Amino acid sequence: MMFRKALSVLSCWGILLIASTVPVAYAFIDMSFPLISIGGSIGRMALPRVGVSSSEKEFEPAAMYGGSTGRISSQVVEEGFHCEHFGSCPGCVMTDRVLGVDVVESVQRFFASPSIQRQSTSSTSTSTSFSPNQLQFTMRLPSNITQWRTQAKLAVASQYWGSRDGCTFGLYERNSHRVVPIPHCAVHHPQINTAIALLTQATANAQTVAYNETFLTGQLRYVQCQVERATNKVCLTLVWNADHLKGCQPYLSRLVKELKKATSISNYSDIWHSIWVNLNTGTGNNIFSRGDNKWFRLEGPEYVREPIHSSTRQEHCGFFFFTPSTFRQANMDGFEVIAQYVAKLVPPKSTVCELYAGVGILGLTALAYHHMAENDNPADTALRWLRCSDENPANLKCFERSIRSMPASITGASTVSSKQSTRKKANKSTSKATYMVASATTAVQEGQALGASVLLVDPPRSGLDEFVLTELCKPRNPKQPHVEDLLLLDDEGSSNINLLNDVTTLIYVSCGFESFSRDCERILSANAGWSIHSSIGYLLFPGSNHIETVTLFRRQLSFKRTPVKKVTSFGSFARQKR
């Protein structure tokens, strides 16, 4: 026994000795100010300080919708949170210290590398050495670390194999397709857990059969729950194993009837915002089937609404609109903070092109922010125009509804006609804000970014389209005139045209750090004049090994502009060059 104790003491001293000689990342908490910093050194290269600022907590978005108020304390961040499903559920990798995930250190190393530091605008030295304070990378917590998830997609399994005793709902176990139920998930909005409990009972009463992927039989495959924060109501989508709506009956109608009955006899009579069904008979990993003939609204209103906030956050300037077929962030509280920060990065009076726009959250937030900035004359800061694009056709109607909900003083018009919008043609409108249904590649090819001084990108985890990346890496063409219409470049040699020639500010919002680091290195090494001005990481999904990064690139003007050619009609900029 004494030998084991002595060995234990020696082992502890050995660990301390190793720790004192091998540089490692460390974390500390300054209790005088709610700031968590991660620093340290790798070899002789000092890692930049990584902090979690409390500035985002001065206004807590959740407070507007009945959520918790006040700042997230350092103790909460250090201790993390408790969830009874941790370990069996694959959703979270860490609950004790949510900032201790591996990706944070990976991001640190990347931004601390000499090649990145030399390409930062704060770099003042031309030598190979650099100061560790040249480029600061900051980590921020934009929301509460529990109950932040207002959208959840859950797989479905039978209570017992092939039984009609109802369904269970959860996530697939790691490296398998066995569903792990998570009825009391700590990161779910409470209304999602309530909705799943009611749905579980309803499937039992309706004898709903879960989908069997081995035999391609059964009915219910997945469910999606989206919480409208202002009302705390849940938009429920049922993914059904059928090709046509008639093929769902009578089983689908029975389930909807049981859902309504379950709420009428409980304390949750007003929980459902709407109920939808998506028809999916595919054998791949896609949760939803695409196409208007695959989506059907069974109950409730068409849109989930979320407010567009002004710069002061005291009043909203309209609404964002979502349907189940459009992309919506799982943590809306947190993404609101990111959108406000992106809006601040956009210079006043800019011309803005947003690719991968979804329903236009980043662009429309910037539009409202600069119009409602605290000054006597909005014309001093208001954006000149905003062009958004995304390839999902369902986004267009949501964007149009948002424009109509916003004051005309912000948008410049009250309506945008969908009849004038196709995949090959952008909206013709007097509005400052327009939308093109097109991929990022097609949008750039058709001139969406001509005349834009700011490019906003929020691509999927795969990163930027190759064509977009190639255009960003092109040197600026000093002979190319500053135009906003592709047709005005007809007399230019096509090989010399740079479709992003006027962009001097690039704001890259990334949800996949691996693809971002690849894109970033390529942009900086292209000799196109780009440098990093700042980068911030957001722990948007506390508990997961994932961060969102917002990086500001700037490009220096190395030549005198060619005089601007006037555009004869606003909105014609997106006509395809023939």
pLDDT single digits (tens) 438-493: 999 999 999 999 999 999 999 999 999 999 999 999 999 888 898 988 888 765 55
Query: Do 333 and 292 fall into the same domain?
Result: no
Query: Do 404 and 500 fall into the same domain?
Result: yes
CA 301 to centroid of chain Cα atoms: 25
Query: Could you tell me what percent of the chain has a pLDDT over 70?
Result: 73
User: Which CATH number belongs to the domain containing residue 469 in this structure?
Assistant: 3.40.50
Q: Specify the pairing of strand 351-355 against strand 454-457.
A: parallel
Whether residue 521 lies inside any domain: the answer is: no
Confidence at residue 78, expressed as pLDDT on a 0 to 100 scale: 63
Query: Do 321 and 466 fall into the same domain?
Result: yes
Whether residue 278 lies inside any domain: the answer is: yes
Q: How far apart (Å, rounded) are the C-alpha atoms in residues 381 and 540?
A: 29
Query: Do 312 and 248 fall into the same domain?
Result: no
Query: Do 109 and 194 fall into the same domain?
Result: no
Return the ∠ at Cα 490 (arms to 487 and 495), rounded to 5°. Answer: 120
571: number of Cβ within 10 Å:
21
Whether residue 531 lies inside any domain: the answer is: no
Whether residue 4 lies inside any domain: the answer is: no
Mark which of 256, 285, 301 sits at the end of a domain: 301
Confidence at residue 375, expressed as pLDDT on a 0 to 100 scale: 58
Residue pointed to by tokens 């209570």: 159
Query: Do 41 and 126 fall into the same domain?
Result: yes
**Closest Cα partner for 459 from 521, 551, 369?**
551
Mark which of 248, 270, 301 sits at the end of a domain: 301
Spell out the residues 6+ positions from residue 140 whose beta carbon is closer than 8 angstroms to its own.
51, 52, 53, 55, 56, 337, 536, 537, 538, 539
> Which residues sit opposite 389 in a β-bridge?
436
- Name the domain count of the chain: 3
User: Which CATH number belongs to the domain containing residue 282 in this structure?
Assistant: 2.40.50.1070
Whether residue 387 lies inside any domain: the answer is: yes
Query: Do 269 and 369 fall into the same domain?
Result: no
Query: Do 162 and 267 fall into the same domain?
Result: yes
Confidence at residue 3, expressed as pLDDT on a 0 to 100 scale: 44
162-200: buried (b, 16+ CB within 10 Å) or exposed (e) per residue? Answer: eeeebbbbbbeeeeeeebbbbeebbbbbebbbbbbbbbb
Confidence at residue 403, expressed as pLDDT on a 0 to 100 scale: 96
Confidence at residue 162, expressed as pLDDT on a 0 to 100 scale: 60
Query: Do 242 and 114 fall into the same domain?
Result: no
Q: Tell me whether residue 536 is exposed, middle or buried, using C-beta atoms within 10 angstroms of its C-beta: 0 to 12, 13 to 18, 19 or more.
A: buried
Query: Do 132 and 155 fall into the same domain?
Result: no
Listed as ranges, residues in the chain with pLDDT below 70 are: 1-79, 122-134, 161-163, 265-267, 311-316, 373-377, 414-430, 490-495, 558-578
Query: Do 442 and 418 fall into the same domain?
Result: yes
Alpha helices in 207-278 (DSSP H): 251-264
Confidence at residue 51, expressed as pLDDT on a 0 to 100 scale: 41
Domain boundaries, position 468: 305-504+557-574
Q: How far apart (Å, rounded) are the C-alpha atoms in residues 561 and 479?
A: 8
Return the ∠ at Cα 514 (arms to 151 and 80), rounded to 5°. Answer: 50
Mark which of 301, 334, 365 sits at the end of a domain: 301
Whether residue 47 lies inside any domain: the answer is: yes
Whether residue 449 lies inside any domain: the answer is: yes
Reduced to 3 states (helix: H, G, I; strand: E, B; else coil), residue 101 is: coil
- Average pLDDT of the residues of the chain: 80
**Closest Cα partner for 517 from 38, 107, 104, 120?**
107
Query: Do 362 and 239 fall into the same domain?
Result: no
Q: What is the DSSP letter of 170?
A: E
pLDDT in tens, 341-380: 999 999 999 999 999 999 999 999 999 999 876 555 677 7
Q: How far apart (Å, rounded) are the C-alpha atoms in residues 191 and 465?
A: 37
Whether residue 386 lies inside any domain: the answer is: yes
